[in-house]
Amino acid sequence: MRILVIGGGGREHTLVWKIALSPRVERVFAAPGNAGTAAVAENLDLRATDFESLGKAAREKKIDLALVGPEAPLASGIVDYFDSLGIPVFGPTKEAARVESSKAFARSLMEKHGIPCPGGAVFSSHQEAREYIKEQRMPLVIKADGLAAGKGVIIANSLSEAEKALADVMDTKAFGPAGDRVVIDEYVTGREVSLIAFCDGKTVSAMVPACDYKKIGDKDTGPNTGGMGSYSPPGFFSAAMTERVTGDILLSAVKALASEGMTYRGVLYAGLMIADGKPLVLEFNARFGDPETQVILPLLKTDLVDVLMAVVEGRLDGMNIEWRSEACVGVVMASGGYPGSYKTGFPVKGLDSLDSDALVFHAGTRPGSDGSVLTDGGRVLTVVATGKDMAAAREKAYDNVSRLSFEGCYYRKDIALRETDGVHSIA
């Protein structure tokens, strides 16, 4: 088979790596890819939102399956476009991808179909939203309805902060048209976890659960990022809870969409808060998580391509997808200054000094002219290791991180630390 992966981050490198391991696969292409995907796939210099060029390339390269990584092309209808060309594609249609591209749509779906989520409301009128927040207990979570590159969620601790957030989102349009509507959620506390499932429109099959780290600093301090690390599986999220969320949330959502005329094919990501033992949906995403994918796919025993094809062909029912009973930890190495401004173009050193079973998934990298790898983004690499338990995986991941360097390199020191009680803390 010839498979095209659309996107160019750590998630897409992980997908390319896993797909290339399949004996069914003859060739993998990545568009646009990065220096990591270039080592296992052919990179195509095309933007993930340039549907026409992607479709043309897919035909020229005789692609048997295209897989979409990021949310933006899904939200703009890349799956509908590839369908119209008759090219098999993995991912939900534009209409179904609204579970991620419209938080108002997701809230209304959940409310209508009894899927547990925090209390809240949706507003198109700034004035009505202002009246509403006056009656609410703080903190509040104020979200731009549409896609905002992971930045459209503001936690307001006081009425004045909530008023400012509303003005930023709805008046100043800090997130563009994504802020034409807002969703205002009550603030819930607990433990956050991501459960992502393969879905073929009727059947869902959950992957192993994972946790990501969104803040730049240790102990969850500083501004939000695209994700600074992840691990799987979290000890607090039991097999029984996985089963409960799979049925009550993921399958319920797929059935709810089906009842409204949408066949949800691809992966459905539930970002959950476990509050007093009860799972609540904070967000749905219509795609694989980043950096969760980097620690989930190394634990997948079944051939990923078999699973992808079962999804696309509606054959998930009865398929036994197997996972390793091991732990996996991923540490993101970022450019100094990220998520603010940072410099790029620095050589990454030490890539040839890593353990043979350590994995390095590239995100912001590009090949140098002399065969070197250069930094090319905020998040540069995710260094991933598996182990018999979380402590072993963590130790191996950080040991390999310590062998890599580039000018200004920054990483968190506490990824998965809470799972190991600090016993194996990193100096």
Select from 47-55, 119-127, 286-294, 378-386 the region that touches ligand GLY (CB under 6 A).
286-294
- Find the binder of ligand GLY among 12, 95, 290, 419 (CB under 6 A): 290
278 token code pair: 């009860």
Which are the contacts of 362, defined by CB distance < 8 A and separation ≥ 6? 10, 13, 34, 35, 36, 37, 373, 380, 381
Number of residues that bind ligand GLY (CB under 6 A): 6
- Find the binder of ligand GLY among 33, 229, 289, 298 (CB under 6 A): 289
Q: Could you say whether residue 292 binds ligand GLY (CB under 6 A)?
A: yes
Select from 51-59, 108-116, 164-172, 285-293 the region that touches ligand GLY (CB under 6 A).
285-293
Note the helical H segments in 313-358.
none
Q: Which one, 38 or 270, has the nearer CB to ligand GLY?
A: 270
* Shortest distance, position 290 Cβ to ligand GLY, whole Å: 5
Note the helical H segments in 69-139.
71-75, 78-85, 98-101, 103-112, 126-134
CA 169 – CA 163 distance, rounded (Å) = 10
CA 7 – CA 10 distance, rounded (Å) = 9
CA 40 – CA 37 distance, rounded (Å) = 5
* Shortest distance, position 240 Cβ to ligand GLY, whole Å: 24
- Find the binder of ligand GLY among 285, 375, 400, 420 (CB under 6 A): 285
Q: CB–CB of 69/54 below 8 Å?
A: no
Q: Which one, 212 or 419, has the nearer CB to ligand GLY?
A: 212
Q: What is the three-class DSSP state of 237?
A: coil
Select from 118-126, 231-239, 282-290, 299-307 the region that touches ligand GLY (CB under 6 A).
282-290
DSSP state of 7: E
- Find the binder of ligand GLY among 8, 227, 229, 330 (CB under 6 A): 227
CA 56 – CA 63 distance, rounded (Å) = 10
Q: Which one, 144 or 373, has the nearer CB to ligand GLY?
A: 144
* Shortest distance, position 152 Cβ to ligand GLY, whole Å: 12
Q: Could you say whether residue 339 binds ligand GLY (CB under 6 A)?
A: no
